Amino acid sequence: MMSLEKKHRLIGILATLFVLSLLVVAWFESHH
Partner 1 sequence: MRTRIKNWLQISVPIPGEFFTKVTSEPVPHHLKRWWFALGGTPAYLFIIQVVTGILLTFYYVPEPGHAYTSVQRITYEIPFGWIIRSIHKWSANLMIVAVILHVMRVFFTGAYRKPRELNWMVGCGILACTLFFGFTGYSLIYEQLSYWGATVAANITQNVPLMGDFLARFLRGGDSVEENTLTRFYIFHIALLPLAITLLLVLHITLIRLLGVTEFEFEEDKGKQAKHFPFFPNHFLMEMIIGMSLTLLLTFLVVFFPARLGPPADPFLTPEHIKPEWYFYFTFRWLKLTSLQVGVLGTGIAGMILVFWPFIDRQLTRRFPNRDLSVWLGVIGFLTLMVLTIWEAIV
Gap between the Cα atoms of 21 and 23, Å rounded? 5
CB of 21 to partner 1, least distance (A): 5
16 lies in the site for partner 1, by CB under 8 A:
no
Gap between the Cα atoms of 32 and 27, Å rounded? 9
Size of the site for partner 1 (CB under 8 A): 23
8 lies in the site for partner 1, by CB under 8 A:
yes
Instruction: Report how far apart, in Å, the C-alpha atoms of 15 and of each of 8, 22, 29, 31, 32 are.
Output: 11, 11, 21, 25, 26
Task: Give the footprint of partner 1 on this chain (CB under 8 A).
Answer: 1-5, 7-8, 10-12, 14-15, 17-19, 21-22, 24-26, 28-29, 32
